[in-house]
Amino acid sequence: MKRIGMLTSGGDCQALNAAMRGVVKTLDNSKEEVEIYGFLDGYKGLIYGKFQMLTGRDFSGILTKGGTILGTSRTPFKTINDPDENGLNKVEAMKQNYYKLQLDCLVILGGNGTHKTANLLSKEGLNVVTLPKTIDNDLWGTDMTFGFQSAVNIATDAIDYIHTTAASHARVFIVEIMGHKVGWLPLNAGMAGGADIILIPEIPYDIDKVIDKIEERDKRGSRFTIIAVAEGAISKEDAKLSKKDYKKKLEKQVHPSVSYEIAAAIQEKTGREVRVTVPGHMQRGGSPCPYDRVFASRLGSEAGKLILEGQYGFMVGYKNREIVKVPLEDVAGKLKTLDPEATIIQEAKMLGICFGD
What is the rounded CA–CA span in Å between residue 186 and residue 101?
43
Half-sphere exposure for 342 (CA within 13 Å, toward CB): 13
- Which residues have a Cβ under 8 Å from the Cβ of 253 and sit 6 or more positions away? 261
Taking CA atoms, 30 is separated from 35, 308, 309, in Å, by: 13, 8, 11
- Strands (DSSP E) contained in the chain are 2-8, 34-39, 51-54, 105-110, 128-132, 172-177, 197-199, 225-230, 274-277, 314-319, 322-327
What is the rounded CA–CA span in Å between residue 146 and residue 17?
11
Q: Is 136 a catalytic residue?
A: yes
Phi, psi of 225 (to 5 degrees): -140, 135
Which is catalytic among the residues 136, 138, 196, 292?
136
What is the rounded CA–CA span in Å between residue 314 and residue 308?
14
Half-sphere exposure for 206 (CA within 13 Å, toward CB): 6
- Residues acting as catalytic residues: 136
